[in-house]
Amino acid sequence: MVVILSMTTTVASAQQNEMSKLRWKGLSTNRFWDNWEISAGFGNSYLSVSKHDPGKFVDRNSWNANIGFTKWVHPLLGMRLQLDAGQFQNYSMNKAKYGNDLFQSPYIFVHGDIMLNLSNWIGGYREDRVYYAIPYLGFGYTALNFTGPTGSYNGEFSATGGMLNKFRVCRQLDIELDLRTWVLREHALAPEIQAGGSYAFACSASIGLSYRFNKRYWTPAFSEVEVAGYLAAIADLGERLVVADEELIAAGNKLGELSDENSRLRSDLEECKRQKQPVIVEDMSSEVVVFFHIGESQLTDYAKATLNGYIEATKGGDKAIVVTGYADKETGSAAINEQLSHKRAVAVQNYMIEHGIAAKRITAKWVGDTETAFTSPDTPIVNRCVIIE
């Protein structure tokens, strides 16, 4: 039992280290020194041989005392090592040979038990449960007749089973009512109380206290559904990050192109000024685009650089200018996108007026997300813009 207990708790500890990363399926395992109990009790013992025992039933009962150590490796499964001591009190089957006296036979029963918490199995683990029904099966060794007048020492391997009833007093203490029977070979009994059969059955009932020390509870783990949802959310976030990276790369490329165009226009303007030649403005209606951050209508430094080049090249003319605001469909509702595209168009219009473009030349329009500014590349960021024609 000690070897099995050590192996079981070692495996449980290793499982805990792995499951602490991402635990599921019910409750987490525990460490070696967690969920131990020590118990002690006192009560009654009774021995029944294969034939009818003579004498009154009350006369054939005697005392029993026990002490045990229990390790719970799971809310449903525990292992107990217990020492029982007491005495059997019986009349002789052969009165002609042994007389009518009661014979008292002391015994010690050492056994290991496998315990099943039936209440947790049926009703689920609950820390506040008051009563626990715990059936168990075990195997051990019974030593008899080592003192007193009933004869010399005998011993026999014995099988046992019973029901442990635990009543919770507080988190540390339980009251225990232990009802147990065990079977052994009859030839191990003192000759005075043997009946000539094969087996004898011993029963005991004891009441006592159990003390739990160190960790006294079980930590709930995540359900398989929760873990699956968590992993799915991580995968979705990864995909969205990839898309966002692609959008940022596309926006960077577009800003680079616009910056190059702005530099070219500035260079042409300066060259014209030096040569004192009139500025020839190219048709920029499909090329002048001002981009915005998601959900924003404020002009960035990049947007202002684009507008400065355009204003410098066109403020001397009288051609009508149409400013159209857009928003992408992937974010926000239709109503919000309508307002956002309006604010973007007005922001560009106001900036151009403040920097020398006549207000009467500029017409501001906005289309929300009902129209798409660009179809390539197919990313939302290229539709968060204002197009100047």
pLDDT by residue, tens only, the chain of 389 residues: 544 444 444 444 444 444 334 444 556 667 888 889 999 999 999 888 766 656 677 778 899 999 999 999 888 899 999 999 998 888 777 777 777 777 888 899 999 999 999 998 998 888 889 999 999 999 999 988 765 554 455 788 999 999 999 999 998 999 999 999 999 888 878 777 777 778 888 999 999 999 988 777 777 666 667 777 878 889 899 999 999 999 999 888 888 888 888 888 888 788 777 775 544 444 444 568 999 998 899 999 989 998 998 998 888 888 899 999 999 888 888 899 999 999 999 999 999 999 989 999 999 999 998 988 888 787 888 889 999 98
**pLDDT score recorded for residue 90:** 82
Do 121 and 209 lie in one domain? The reply is yes
CATH, residue 302: 3.30.1330.60
**pLDDT score recorded for residue 37:** 95
CA dihedral 72, 76, 81, 87 (to 10 degrees): 140
Do 230 and 364 lie in one domain? The reply is yes
Do 196 and 232 lie in one domain? The reply is no
Number of domains observed in the structure of the chain: 2
CATH, residue 40: 2.40.160.20
- Find, among 154, 226, 163, 221, the residue nearest to 191 by Cα: 154
Do 10 and 57 lie in one domain? The reply is yes
CB atoms within 10 A of CB 205: 17
Question: Distance of alpha carbon 198 from its chain centroid, rounded?
Answer: 54
Do 258 and 209 lie in one domain? The reply is no
Do 132 and 229 lie in one domain? The reply is no
Q: What is the DSSP string of 302-318?
A: HHHHHHHHHHHHHTT--
